[in-house]
Amino acid sequence: MIDFRTIRSRITAQDAAKFYGAEFDRRGWALCPFHGDSHPSISFKNGRFRCWSCGASGDALDYTARLFDLDSVQAAHKLDADFGLGLSSGCNNSAEAQQKEDHRKAIAAAHQRFETWREQAMNKLNEIFRIAHTALKRLPEPLSERECLALRYQARAEYLSGVLEDGTPEEQAQLYRERKEMEKWTEQILKGS
């Protein structure tokens, strides 16, 4: 017999939606696959989903069951097989299942690190916009070195902010890999040196 609690604890509704092809906007919302959705109306929070148009809601099991027209047991077996949990065969402690779970956790942790960095980077870029905007209002008064740097990097900050907000995953990943250069000049401006 398959353990529903274990599946719910290991797979969120958002995990299932991503795995089965949902694409998310910058807010983390997706088109609802349960009705003719033209604007993202399904949100994800605390491992669950909710469509604000058709009212569909639930966890990963509910999402999968509804998406593939399955009962709960069939949905549990599908999630178990698709995510490689190894629960159906009674070998949830197997080395392969543990390796897949460790891999899934590593990916989730890497994604969380990126999202934390992304949010911090957006805050820094917004502060640089504020400094540059304030400096422009003060002209023709003399500007501080910090304000001059903010004005100098304003266009670059605007471009990078656009990539972080609306760029493709590949563009955002590339920016994350090259983040040291951006962090150097943003810190220089924000520390005022």
Q: Say if residue 188's pLDDT is above 80.
A: yes
The model's pLDDT over 30-80, given as tens digits with 9 standing for 90+, comes to 999 999 888 999 999 999 999 999 999 999 999 999 999 999 999 999 998
Phi, psi of 142, rounded to the nearest 5 degrees = -65, 145
Segments making up each domain of the chain, as ranges = 4-91, 106-190
Q: Is the omega angle on the peptide bond into residue 140 within 30 degrees of 0, that is, cis?
A: yes
Cα(67)–Cα(61) distance, integer angstroms: 10
* pLDDT recorded at residue 49: 95
* pLDDT recorded at residue 98: 73
Q: Average the pLDDT over 146-161 and give the result.
A: 92
Q: Percentage of residues in the chain with pLDDT exceeding 70? A: 94
Q: Residue 60 in contact with residue 15, Cβ under 8 Å?
A: yes
Q: Average the pLDDT over 165-186 and give the result.
A: 91
CATH number of the structural domain 4-91: 3.90.580.10
* pLDDT recorded at residue 92: 47
Q: Say if residue 97's pLDDT is above 80.
A: no
Q: Say if residue 81's pLDDT is above 50.
A: yes
Question: Structure tokens of 15?
Answer: 């995990």
Phi, psi of 58, rounded to the nearest 5 degrees = 145, -160
Interacting residues of 144 by C-beta distance below 8 A, sequence separation 6+: 192
* pLDDT recorded at residue 84: 84
Q: Average the pLDDT over 114-128 and give the result.
A: 92
* pLDDT recorded at residue 22: 92
> Which pLDDT band, with edges at 50, 70 and 90, does 94 fall under?
low
